[in-house]
Structure 1
Amino acid sequence: MFTGIVDNIGIVASFKESFLEVSVTGFVHDIKKGDSVAINGVCLTVVDIKKDQFSVEVVPETKRRTNLTKLMKGDFINLEKSVQAGGRLGGHFVQGHVDDIGIIKHIVKDGEADIVKIEVDESIGQYIVLKGYVAVDGVSLTVVESTRTLFAFTLIPYTRDHTILGKRKAGDSVNIETDILGKYVKQFVE
């Protein structure tokens, strides 16, 4: 489990077949093979570690449901280590189980911040509610506008500068994970 608070920004060193190798300084010192890490919000298992690099395997289901297949050498990626028992929960409960890909439709200035609008399929849009949580490329965000196929969040300067969301533009695809509580509630009432 994760919190949606990005620990580091890594760089794609290589992505060959199913193996994604990540370069990052100061991230691998306390992870080991078999640990879970989130890459752009996707929970993946560490299969190899080198100095300032680690590798994960990306299975076909993950390739189908996320935007990881679009990654190329040199791309920046959000990284988060799994939460430890007794650790700080700064965002919300993020499983790393991406629901689908969304497409950034608009980014508009709002003072020092940006309002980012994302189009999603109605099948996941039903779980995104005003003032609720959503994870976008692994970042925990609060929804400020919501319809069945479009939602918006405010991207504050700190988050813009310390995650890859500040590098995104209209037309880019992003990984979307809706709040698990909404899924449980819907299943319970059906």
Structure 2
Amino acid sequence: MFTGLVEEVGTLHSISKQGEAMVLCIRAGKVIEGVRLGDSISVNGVCLTVTAFSSTSFHADVMPQTYRHTSLKQLRPGASVNLERAMAANSRFGGHIVQGHVDGTAIIVNRIVDSNAVVFEFQLEHPSIGRYMIPKGSIAIDGISLTLIQVEESNFAVSIIPHTLSQTSLTHKNIGDTVNVECDVLGKYVERLLGFTSKAERDIDTRLTQSSSKSSKITESFLTEHGFC
């Protein structure tokens, strides 16, 4: 689990690609401190596993499922990437719950300077995930915990303060670029639970209907025979 607070911006050193599978070599510093094989590191919002590392870089595999559904496939050597280690149990929870499980991608359609902030407007490539977004709710863009300031059917916007812009890869993002989007997990759990509740209610209604439709074995002759009439 992550918090969406980017620890550092790394640099993609190299990519080894075979079909829709990739191995990324990423140059970094802070996130390598105390790293072990098998540790999780968020790369542009995607939870990846460290498969090898040195004092200046680490390697991570990208499987076909991740390749197909995230923007990692668009990375090229030299690209800047947001990095965050998995949350430690004794650390502050400064952002929101980020799993590193990308829901989809979005394209930057506008970038507007608003006093000391920059407003980024996005268009979802798969509008269906927009149902998990609410104004003033949380969202992770390329692994950055942000607050939604506007939500429409397939478009949304966030406002970036100068510190966040300068300390993340968003500073290099322009109109037409693609980013990874992870919606707040709470909405997804609620939707799933409500779906199960609805199914259970439908099953109960079906059983009641089937029960009431069965013909009763209690007839007038039955009652007479047993001394009730």
Q: Which TM-score bucket, shorter chain as reference?
A: over 0.9
Distance 2:146 2:159 in 1: 8
| 8 Å Cα contact 2:31/2:84 also seen in 1 | no
AA at the equivalent of 2:87: V
Give the number of the structure whose residues are more often strand, by fraction.
Answer: 1
Instruction: Please tell me whether Structure 1 or Structure 2 has the larger radius of gyration of its CA atoms.
Output: 2
Partner of 2:52: 48
Runs of 4+ in 1 over 4 A off after TM superposition: none
CA–CA separation in structure 2 for the residues paired with 1:12 and 1:3: 22
1:25 is displaced (CA, Å) by 2.4
TM-score by length of 1: 0.98
CA distance in 1, matches of 2:38, 2:109: 37
For structure 1, the residue ranges without an aligned partner over 5 or more in a row are none
AA aligned to 1:145 is: Q
1:152 paired residue number: 157
Does residue 1:116 correspond to 2:120, yes or no?
Answer: yes
Contact 1:27 1:52 in 2 (8 A): no
Residue of structure 2 in register with 1:164 after alignment = 169
Could you say what secondary structure the match of 2:192 adopts? helix
Is the CA contact (8 Å cut-off) linking 1:67 and 1:173 kept in structure 2?
A: yes
Give me the TM-score of the superposition, normalised by structure 2. Answer: 0.81
CA RMSD between the two structures: 0.8
Query: Within the alignment, does 1:92 sit opposite 2:96 as a pair?
Result: yes
What corresponds to 1:23 in structure 2?
A: 27
Task: Identify which of structures 1 and 2 has the higher relative contact order when contacts are C-alpha pairs closer than 8 Å and 6+ apart.
Answer: 1
SS in 2 for 1:92: coil
- The alignment-based identity, stated in percent, is 39
Q: Any gaps of 5 or more consecutive residues in structure 2? A: 196-229
Question: Shift of the alpha carbon at 1:26?
Answer: 3.2
Structure 1 residue 85, shift from structure 2 partner: 1.1
Shift in alpha-carbon separation, 1:146–1:16, aligned structure 2, 3 A: same
- What code does the residue aligned with 1:150 have? N
Alpha-carbon shift at residue 29 of structure 1 (Å): 2.0
Aligned pair count reads: 190
CA deviation string 1:3-26 (max 9, x = no partner) = 000001000010111110000123
Query: Residue 177 of structure 2 aligns to which amino acid in structure 1?
Result: D
Contact 2:7–2:30 (CA<8 Å) still a contact in 1? no
Task: Show CA shifts across 1:8-52 (max 9, x none).
Answer: 100001011111000012331211110000000000000001121
